[in-house]
Structure 1
Amino acid sequence: MAHPSFSRSSRFRLSILSLSLLACSAARAQQAPPQAPAAVASAAPGLHMIAEIQVVPRPAGTADDRYRHVDAAIAVIQASGLRYEVHGMGTVVEGPPEKVWPLLQAVHHATLEAGAERTLSIIKVSSSAQAGGPRVDDLVRKFRK
């Protein structure tokens, strides 16, 4: 049921806006991806990124292997050579942005390649404009037993 504070015309305008945004997103996705400027790409080494990814494939696995599609995503992270921590609701990865960004895409696609009909990835990213930046250990050390 719609929220009572939204009138029928407001809901209609929001629906039209949502459809317009969806159409723009689809059109943009069909275009070639933009290339990073050379100056930005050469400045990336030394920068550090922390990312958390949660994949939600449908189905999550098969009758024989309940989490097969999720496990395929984690295997891609394990093979990356980057530092990572698997948690119950997602996996945290850290490293240089030029390695983390492609890894996030590969993790998303791994679920589909493993046989999922569809997948949703929820990604959180933290980075700094300065070299270095916090590490996962820096952020959670005082909370670990």
Structure 2
Amino acid sequence: MLIHVHVGPTPHGDERGPYAHCEAAIRVIESSGLEYEVGALGTTVQGPADRLWPLMRELHEAVLASGAEQNMTHVRILEAQDDRFEASMSDLAARITH
């Protein structure tokens, strides 16, 4: 399963920096041990569904716990019923031609 997640805290940051709340979410992802890639507009995480569903909740709550007044988390999910069709970050990236 792949998820692409974007957190939208209000305010965006605080005295620790403009991305302090987003960085709190990324720390949760880092500590999960799952494969991930941080991008300019969100983070993609790869792993089993039973790990990713709770992770989405944890990172959403981490933004609020870091001091954001509110947070809107946007998630896109790619999951297949059959492992033969399951995509990985590296499979999808290999399909891109420049």
Give me the TM-score of the superposition, normalised by structure 1.
0.63
Question: Does residue 134 in structure 1 map to residue 84 in structure 2?
Answer: no
Identity %: 35
Unaligned runs of 5+ in 1: 1-48
Instruction: Report which of the two has the higher share of helix.
Output: 1
Report how far residue 131 of structure 1 moved. 2.4
How far apart, CA to CA, are the structure 1 residues paired with 2:9 and 2:17?
A: 14
Residue number in structure 2 paired with 1:68 = 20
Q: How many residues align?
A: 97
- Output the aligned Cα RMSD: 1.4
How far apart, CA to CA, are the structure 2 residues paired with 1:53 and 1:65?
A: 21
Unaligned runs of 5+ in 2: none
Tell me, what secondary structure is at the counterpart of 1:125? Answer: strand
Report how far residue 58 of structure 1 moved. 0.4
CA 101–144 in structure 1, closer or farther in 2 if over 3 Å, else same: farther
Instruction: Report which of the two has the higher share of strand.
Output: 2
Which structure's relative contact order is higher, taking Cα pairs within 8 Å and 6+ residues apart? 2
How far apart, CA to CA, are the structure 2 residues paired with 1:107 and 1:75?
A: 8
Residue number in structure 2 paired with 1:113 = 65
Query: Which of structure 1's runs of 4+ aligned residues deviate more than 2 A?
Result: 142-145
For 1:141, the aligned partner's letter is: A
What pairs with 1:1-145 in structure 2 (closer than 5 Å)? 49-131=1-83, 133-143=86-96
How far apart, CA to CA, are the structure 2 residues paired with 1:92 and 1:144?
A: 19
Tell me, what secondary structure is at the counterpart of 1:76? Answer: helix
Larger Rg over CA atoms: 1
